[in-house]
Amino acid sequence: MSPVDVIRHPDATDLAEAVAARLITTLVERQAATGHASVCLTGGGIGTAVLRAVAGNPARDAVDWTKVDIWWGDERYLPAGDPERNETGARAALLDLVSVDPARVHAVADPASSGGDVEVAAQMYAAELASAARPEDHGAAPAFDVVLLGIGPDGHVASLFPEQPAIHDTRTCSAVRGAPKPPPVRVTLTFPTINRGREVWILATGEQKASAVRLALTEGAGAFQVPAAGARGRERTLFLVDDAAARKLPATMGRPSA
């Protein structure tokens, strides 16, 4: 796995705008190199803010959105259109505003389309991941170009919570029951799928994330207790943090945003 690069931003607004610009550039570069691109989205306040910033960026149309595959790192097992679903927020913030190909938007099944069984929803997502994997991905899921992840105050990423069974799951995705953060029932990508991504970007804003960021960047931290410590990209791993989230890091760790 790649080493970690920490980039500090003055505040959450600056971080969202900078990440949006970085994402646009990365997608354009990948499309220039391969003809297509893929991104795995995250929800939460900062994840949605990044998508809004992409939508508002004058360069957004440099991306050929018809050739971008959209995935999610996790999803809350709620009805389609529920405001708590990550998909709902992503559509309102960006996807409904650009010319995405509906066939390339890979949403997690909701209860109605999976018979009310979260295990079935996870199996359906695993099948979709497998069908999208190419020989060069060397696995049962695509090697995403960018994986966006938030980090919780407890150090969780996606719906991989400390000391929960999904952390050890070797399948491409997992059903989650009894998550400590509501809603308790979810579907999440697992570490093998997340860590297959070319680049993993972990986003953190606010003082309430400072302890989790410090622990995730502590040498020797284990993913079972601090899941964010186990999320790393094959080629690049970025911790993109604002000053509040970085307040417990050594002053010498990381670099300011350009």
Is the confidence at residue 20, as pLDDT, over 80?
A: yes
Given a cut of 80, whether residue 1 has pLDDT beyond it is: no
pLDDT at site 172: 98
Q: What is d(CA 197, CA 252) in angstroms, rounded to the nearest whole number?
A: 28
CA gap 107, 40 in Å, rounded: 11
3-state secondary structure of 2: coil
143-185 pLDDT, tens digit each: 999 999 999 999 999 999 999 999 999 999 999 999 999 999 9
Comparing CA positions, the residue from 59, 52, 108 lying closest to residue 79 is 108
User: Mean pLDDT, to the nearest integer, of 38-56?
Assistant: 97
**CATH fold of 4-231, please?**
Rossmann fold (3.40.50)
For the segment 96-103, the average pLDDT, to the nearest whole number, is 98
Average pLDDT, the chain: 96
Cis peptide before 111 (omega within 30 of 0): no
Q: Which of 203, 194, 205, 204 is nearest to 232 (CA)?
A: 194
Report whether pLDDT(258) > 90.
no
240: pLDDT strictly greater than 90? yes
